[in-house]
Structure 1
């Protein structure tokens, strides 16, 4: 089968690989129908994810059809369409029992797919702990509507849930990329009075405004986010801040625009260490919450998608086949042609 393989030292390649097989009774084999490229794949490519294994098949955000299950798999069966959770988790360890599945202690636990074990930018993939990591897609939900269920939409949903948003709050989201847009979408579920989107990409900001995800958009350099947010909150600052950009100075922006006693959720994956200037923020009494995502809510997300409360199909700006994915990587990484997300077709 064809697959995108991480070769280390900034190299990826489309190669022929053997079709995976069941190796544990809790496994399932998925025939991938639609996959995508994530910014985390770019981080892996450039060596910013130390746990990533050279030779691994990339991809952790995809949907497909079950073709085979191990003897212990009970919740899914061959023929069913499924969305795949970015995380694999045993469901039984200390962390899993408390919902912290990102910290699953199994050797294949947490974010393993497309990082430490073969992922879904391929024609077939093996999913460990299939009963935990697969969500059945209702018949009326398309593959494109379900594509982001297990990763960026799960991330936005998790971030909004831990952000402690109250009705009529002011929420600021730094970063209007795919995950930032999903965070805004999910923050809307908590009925804040105002969502303020901050980014240097005006196209993405306009998209956030047009889709009703943001009420106000700010461009650093053109606008002063700290000054504007204080002005529209009677001098207080934002009640909840989501840092989804991971830029050189975006962490500093996040704590500066937060009001005293606010919650700052760090969703971004940084490539460089960040500085916490405790003397400067003394007295703000901020609560910081950090990633990665605990993908425990995929069924809730699928239910909300099925009833029309969550719709991420607008994120798909580009489409291609698996054979064209190398060009898609270039477009995605370099943000060409106003790309937001790719839908990479594998099979019908």
Structure 2
């Protein structure tokens, strides 16, 4: 059967974009019909019957397998020009200026290095760091940049030096791009890679788009096992590695230890979930939001404390710990008040693992801490634990989807940002942004 035009998102987008067709009577009609057939064919799987137009099937096959090559096709008939023009653009969420973001049509990314891969994004999300960019706090991110450093999707095209991935593979995109060869990468400090680090959605275009280019693909992508639902794997791009590496591992959480997590936002709750992998005796979560404390309790917190009053919170800490304090305190907010509170909650020999991003100086009470053998750790996520987290999800021992509270289409990206930025009103934890079907177009 020839494909129907009804319900084709490609045909709808072509119509919405008012693509110009070949001029002149019958030629115009045929060009429009052929374009519609091509657009609709790309919405379907398998072969299509194009009757007396076998070239149409060849165009569909090329467009599916190598969209960038198709775009540059030398056979520049009006049909190819029109369809190539369509294939060469995508929707993307773009940082315009302070407090301004916009959904725009942008050119699809192309390979610029043999180690690159082009990924068809299926799901992405918004991070607190993206909000910092919108506030103008990240000088390295310039207006015009496509935002986002978290994503999952399908490999569309790979450079000649990429050996671990091929078109059609399901992949998770790490928030950290790493060459795996420089001095810092060889030390496991991938976030300080001399040609990578946090570059997606910062110094280069990111993942909040239909397609993205991933540098150093072999060491910056992770295969998603076939049996794993891709529903919320994107949560493993950033917040779960951040919580595990910067909070749980830096904090030396271990079997039988006592843990406090100050802040029950997405990263704090991810720390709660990953801390349970190490079987501590107690995990106490502190926050000022009663609703978030309810979520923490449902996700496994032994106790919760509302720290709206610091004195009352510290009294409860002393009650729970017998006046000893906690072996590990994870700061997951990033403001001076919570950093000071954390210093008052530590047991002798304890570790304060700072995860929150601080924008202003904080007080360090060394006069009170030095004699207690306290360690304070900081870290930028390296995402070296991502394979372990993927295995935990595959085994059913970790459910990142539990942190997803809102879902949006890419076209609703501006509303997604409004929802995430007003989390106190909306109850948002992580918002999931879906960009389209799990197929390459």
Structure 1 range deviating more: 228-237 or 67-76: 228-237
Identify the match of residue 161 of structure 2 among 54, 62, 72: 72
The reply on whether 1:167 has 2:255 as its aligned counterpart is: yes
Q: How does 1:11-30 map to 2 (within 5 A)?
A: 11-30=100-119
Q: Take 1:49 and 1:268, find their aligned partners in 2: how far apart are those partners?
A: 16
Tell me, what secondary structure is at the counterpart of 1:232? helix
Aligned 1:1-348 pairs, distance under 5 A: 1-106=90-195, 109-158=196-245, 159-212=247-300, 214-221=301-308, 224-335=312-423, 336-348=425-437
CA distance in 1 between counterparts of 2:271 and 2:231 reads 18
The gaps in structure 2 that reach 5 residues or longer are 1-89
Deviations 1:110-160 (A, max 9, x none): 111111111000000000000111111112222223111110011112131
2: CA distance, partners of 1:264 / 1:320: 36
**Counterpart position of 2:60:** none
Residue 34 of structure 1 contacts residue 63 of structure 1 at CA under 8 Å; is this kept in 2? Answer: yes
Residues in 1 aligned to 2:100 and 2:362: alpha-carbon distance in whole angstroms: 27
Superposed CA deviations along residues 71-108 of structure 1, whole A, max 9, x for unmatched, are 111111110111110000111112111111111122xx
Counterpart secondary structure, 1:291: coil
Matched residues in 2 for 1:74 and 1:222: separation? 55
Structure 1 unaligned blocks of 5 or more: none
Structure with greater proportional helix content = 2
Matches of 1:27 and 1:43 in 2, distance apart? Answer: 28
Listed one character per residue, the Cα deviations across residues 11-62 of structure 1 (whole Å, up to 9, x for unaligned) are 2211111100000011000000011111110011102223222221101111
Residues 336 and 363, structure 2, Cα contact 8 Å, conserved in 1: no
CA distance in 1, matches of 2:244, 2:158: 29
Tell me, yes or no, if the aligned pair for 2:336 and 2:361 is still in contact at 8 Å.
no
Rg (Cα) greater in structure: 2
CA pair 50-261 structure 1, distance change in 2 beyond 3 A: farther
User: In the TM superposition, what is the alpha-carbon distance from 1:222 to its structure 2 partner?
Assistant: 5.2
Alignment root-mean-square deviation, CA: 1.3
Distance 1:170 1:24 in 2: 48
Instruction: Write the distance in 1 (CA, Å) between the matches of 2:236 and 2:308.
Output: 34
Residue-pair matches, total: 345
Determine the C-alpha separation between the residues in 2 that align with 1:49 and 1:254.
27
Aligned-partner Cα distance in 1 for 2:139–2:380: 15
Secondary structure, counterpart of 2:344 in structure 1: helix
**What's the secondary structure of 2:143's corresponding residue?**
coil
**Relative contact order: is structure 1 or structure 2 higher (C-alpha 8 Å, sep ≥ 6)?**
1
- 2-side partners of 1:49 and 1:266: how far apart? 20
After TM superposition, the structure 1 stretch with the greater mean CA deviation from structure 2, 243-252 or 278-287, is 278-287
Divergent runs of 4+, >3 A: none
CA distance, structure 2, for counterparts of residue 48 and residue 156 of structure 1: 22
SS at match of 2:285: strand
Secondary structure of residue in 1 paired with 2:349: strand
- Partner of 2:236, secondary structure, is coil
Distance 2:313 2:182 in 1: 43
